[in-house]
Each structure stands twice: as structure tokens, then as C-alpha cells.
């Protein structure tokens, strides 16, 4: 069965610093990979996705992620964090239309 | 504007009552999903539907029921059989067929049992 691990429950970074959120997945074939962001009390917004092709994908709000098959990872990065990036981030892996597995999320706190 | 709407945003239920959460989409998506979100547990799939008048149980369907009479609508009923219904409920939709597409989410409904 597929699974997603986000090892960091909570991360704190200073505004302007770089950010990397970790995501590891377990899945036999090439997965569909996603990063979503959720503000408190809101739904999930898609940041970016990887289906195939270039392993470095660009998303909205200046985020990018790199798919590394050898490490089963899909880490999310941003060069310079803004206070408005404070939210919870979810990594997800999709096998089929009904089989999307979500990680448990990483809460990002941004300090001035 | 195309999107997914969920209502109400907040819902309070007394023990022993059934409540229904609304989910409507105007994206013309074939598939719709209900997830439950609890702190520290990510999202867990309750039910999904890929076509009108058909739906399938997800990982935690016990105590919940759904219907899919229209393509745009996928209401979720939380029954009195659900022992711990207090949670944040998210509805999503997705286009089926052709190349794989993303699931898009509504704003959620927070259900609290009093």
C-alpha cells in the first residue's frame, strides 16, 4: 500500500530565510505527487504537482519541489519565506482516481 | 467563478442526531470525494463517487452515508452511528478520464458534537 511520510510536524523559520519541507513516499510505480497548502479553517490549495517529465517542478507562490526517485522523496522548497507562507503543508501521492494518500502535514511558523 | 462550495461552514450537532453536509461543484468534474481531517492525522477518505448514482466506501465509511443524484452535488450525512464525528470535513472533486488530474478542494465544514 502506498504511504506518505512528512517527518517534520512543525517547522519555524525566519522571514526571508530559505525553506525545505520533507516528504517521503512509498509506492511501487512512478507516483503522482502533490503538495497542498492549508490556512487555518480553510480547504486545501494545490501548490504544485508532479506527474512525469522534469523532476524539478515549479508551483505557485514561488514554491518548487524536486522528485528524487532514488530517495523516494518529493521535498518542497522556497528560497525566501514570507510571513504569509505560515500555514500547514500536505504532501500527497496518487495511485489512481480514488487512491490519494495524504501525509500528516507540516505546520510552518514564520517569525519576523 | 468555478469552484467547490461547502455549507455550512460551522455545524453543531447534538448526540443522536443525523446531520447533512452539503458539497456543490460547478467545475463539471465527474468524481467527488469526502475526507475527514483530524489534527495530526492528515486527510482520511470517507466516500467517493466517480459517476452519478454510484459511490464507493473509502477507508472510514462507518457511520456516514452519501448520495450522488446530480453530477454537481455530493452531500454527506453523518449519522448517529458515527461515534466520534467532531472533525473538519473536506469535499473535493476531480475530472476523470484522459490524463490524470488533480483533486480540488472546497473550503470545508467544521462539525462539532455538543
Tell me what pLDDT residue B101 has.
73
Contacts of B33 in chain A (CB under 8 A): 98
Cell 526517485, residue?
Answer: A69
Is the Cβ of A36 closer than 8 Å to some Cβ of chain B? yes
Who among A4, A43, A97 is closest to B108 (CB)? A43
pLDDT value of residue B41: 83
Instruction: Determine whether the interchain pair A44/B99 forms a contact, defined as Cβ–Cβ distance below 8 Å.
Output: no
Distance CA A5, CA A24 (A): 5
Residues of B with CB under 8 A from a CB of A: 4, 6, 31, 33, 40-43, 45, 48, 50, 56, 58, 88, 90, 92, 94, 96, 99-100, 102-108, 110
Q: Which of A43, A93, A104 to mutate to test the interface with B (most CBs of B within 10 A)?
A: A43
Nearest to B94 by CA among B27, B23, B47: B27
CA-CA-CA-CA torsion sign (A62, B99, A106, A40):
positive
> Which residues in B lie closer than 8 A to residue A43 (C-beta atoms)?
4, 6, 90, 105-108
- Report the percent of chain B where pLDDT is more than 90: 76
pLDDT tens readout for residues B94-112: 988 766 678 899 999 999 9
| Per-residue model confidence as pLDDT tens digits over B5-36 | 999 999 998 888 999 999 999 999 999 999 99
| Per-residue pLDDT, B1 | 60
Q: What is the pLDDT of residue B9?
A: 95
Q: Measure the CA angle with vertex B32, ends B28 and B34; round to 5°.
A: 150
pLDDT over threshold 90, residue A27: no
Q: Please give the angle made by the CA atoms of B76, B35 and A50, to the nearest 5 degrees.
A: 140
Q: Which carries the bigger pLDDT value, residue B99 or residue B77? A: B77
Q: Do B96 and A51 make contact, defined as CB atoms within 8 angstroms?
A: no
The DSSP secondary structure of chain B, one letter per residue, reads ---EEEE-SEEEE-TT--EEEEEEE-S--SEEEEEEE-TTS-EEEEEEEEETTEEEE-TT-TTEEE--SBTTB--EEE-TT-S---EEEEEEEE--SSS----EE---EEEEE-
Are B5 and B105 within 8 A, CB to CB? no
Supply the pLDDT for residue B39.
86
At B16 the pLDDT is 87
Amino acid at each position: 500500500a502506498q504511504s506518505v511520510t512528512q517527518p517534520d510536524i512543525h517547522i519555524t523559520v525566519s522571514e526571508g530565510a530559505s525553506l525545505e519541507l520533507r516528504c517521503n513516499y512509498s509506492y511501487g510505480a512512478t507516483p503522482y505527487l502533490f503538495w497542498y497548502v492549508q490556512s487555518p479553517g480553510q480547504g486545501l490549495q494545490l501548490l504544485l504537482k508532479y506527474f512525469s517529465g522534469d523532476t524539478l517542478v515549479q508551483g505557485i507562490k514561488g514554491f518548487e519541489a524536486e522528485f528524487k526517485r532514488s530517495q523516494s522523496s518529493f521535498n518542497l522548497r522556497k528560497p525566501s519565506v514570507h510571513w504569509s507562507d505560515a500555514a500547514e503543508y500536505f504532501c500527497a501521492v496518487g495511485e489512481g482516481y480514488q487512491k490519494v494518500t495524504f501525509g500528516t502535514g507540516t505546520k510552518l511558523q514564520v517569525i519576523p | 467563478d468555478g469552484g467547490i462550495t461547502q455549507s455550512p461552514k460551522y455545524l453543531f450537532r447534538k448526540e443522536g442526531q443525523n446531520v447533512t453536509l452539503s458539497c456543490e461543484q460547478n467545475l463539471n468534474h465527474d468524481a467527488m470525494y469526502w475526507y475527514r481531517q483530524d489534527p495530526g492525522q492528515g486527510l482520511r477518505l470517507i466516500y467517493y463517487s466517480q459517476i452519478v448514482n454510484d459511490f464507493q466506501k473509502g477507508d472510514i465509511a462507518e457511520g456516514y452515508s452519501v448520495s450522488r443524484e446530480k453530477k454537481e452535488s455530493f452531500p454527506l450525512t453523518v449519522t448517529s452511528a458515527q461515534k466520534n464525528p467532531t472533525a473538519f470535513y473536506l469535499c473535493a472533486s476531480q475530472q476523470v478520464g484522459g490524463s490524470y488530474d488533480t483533486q480540488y478542494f472546497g473550503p470545508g465544514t467544521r462539525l462539532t458534537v455538543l
